[in-house]
């Protein structure tokens, strides 16, 4: 479990591509290595991966084919940087919102508006069926970052990025056309799906 508050940025050092399995070696800054153990869960651009090996400042993770196909991790190249969050511990402050690390799909950066003190970034949902879970002022996790939805138009939505987030994450380096990982707020998804199911049952009974 995560909170969408990024702890640091790690660099891709090597990628070993096998059939249906990629193995990534990441360079972790010291702040991310504190008490890190084999088998620990770590969020990479919002995607939960398991620590396979630790060699000083290098941490190795396996990525399965389904993750490669449905996230932007499969698009990473050597030298790229990604957002990292260590899993939440009992008693930790939850500064963002509850995040599972299970990416639902990707979204494409469709517009970037650079203002004096922040960015407004528009995203186009890859899977249009997910737009029903996106609400004004609702939570969303983008590349592991807990953000608030500012506006929605058809199959696009936008978020406002404050200077602190721009300085501590990779979101400020995104370009139009790039893909980001999306995790919909679970509580929102459950509420929408339950309401739809109740309405459909009601209509079926009273047909």
pLDDT in tens, 148-180: 999 999 999 999 999 999 999 999 999 999 999
| CATH code 2.60.40.3670 for 105-194 | no
pTM above 0.75, yes or no: yes
User: Where in the chain are all domains bearing CATH 2.40.30.20?
Assistant: 8-86, 105-194
Lowest mean pLDDT among 37-51, 87-101, 103-117: 87-101
Instruction: Give CA–CA dist 70/64, Å, rounded.
Output: 10
pLDDT band for 98, please (50, 70, 90 cuts).
confident
Percentage of the chain modeled with pLDDT above 90:
80
Tracing tokens 């919002």 back to the chain, one arrives at 46
Look up tokens 């929102």; give the residue: 188
Which one of 3.40.50.11900, 2.40.30.20, 1.10.10.10, 3.50.50.60 gives the CATH number of domain 8-86?
Answer: 2.40.30.20
Q: Tell me how far CA of residue 113 lies from CA of 119, 145, 147, 159, in angstroms.
A: 6, 19, 16, 11
Average of per-residue pLDDT across 13-34 = 94
> In this predicted structure, what is the pLDDT of residue 1?
87
| Long-range CB contacts for residues 134-138, cutoff 8 Å, separation at least 24 | 134/184, 135/188, 138/185, 138/188
Write the CA distances from 158 to 38, 142, 178, integer angstroms.
Answer: 37, 11, 15
Handedness of CA 136, 138, 142, 147 (dihedral sign): positive
In this prediction, residue 90 has a pLDDT band, given cuts at 50, 70 and 90, of confident
Predicted confidence band of residue 88 (pLDDT cuts 50, 70, 90): confident
What is the three-class DSSP state of 45?
Answer: coil
- Residue pair 6/169 in contact (Cβ under 8 Å)? The answer is yes
Q: What's the rounded Cα separation, in Å, for the pair 25 and 76?
A: 12
């Amino acid at each position: 479990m995560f909170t969408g508050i990024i702890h640091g940025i790690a660099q891709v050092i090597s990628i070993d591509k096998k059939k249906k399995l990629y193995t990534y070696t990441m360079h972790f800054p010291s702040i991310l290595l504190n008490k890190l153990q084999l088998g620990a869960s770590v969020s990479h651009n919002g995607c939960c991966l398991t620590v396979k090996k630790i060699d000083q400042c290098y941490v190795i993770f396996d990525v399965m084919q389904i993750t490669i196909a449905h996230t932007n991790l499969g698009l990473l190249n050597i030298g790229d940087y990604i957002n990292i969050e260590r899993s939440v511990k009992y008693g930790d402050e939850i500064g963002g919102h509850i995040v599972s690390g299970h990416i639902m799909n990707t979204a494409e950066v469709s517009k970037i508006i650079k203002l004096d003190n922040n960015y407004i970034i528009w995203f186009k949902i890859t899977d249009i069926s997910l737009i029903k879970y996106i609400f004004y002022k609702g939570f969303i996790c983008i590349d592991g970052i807990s953000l608030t939805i500012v506006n929605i138009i058809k199959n696009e939505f936008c978020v406002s990025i404050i200077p602190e987030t721009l300085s501590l994450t990779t979101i400020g380096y995104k370009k139009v056309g790039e893909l980001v990982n999306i995790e919909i707020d679970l509580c929102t998804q459950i509420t929408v799906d339950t309401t739809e199911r109740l309405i459909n049952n009601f209509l079926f009974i009273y047909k």
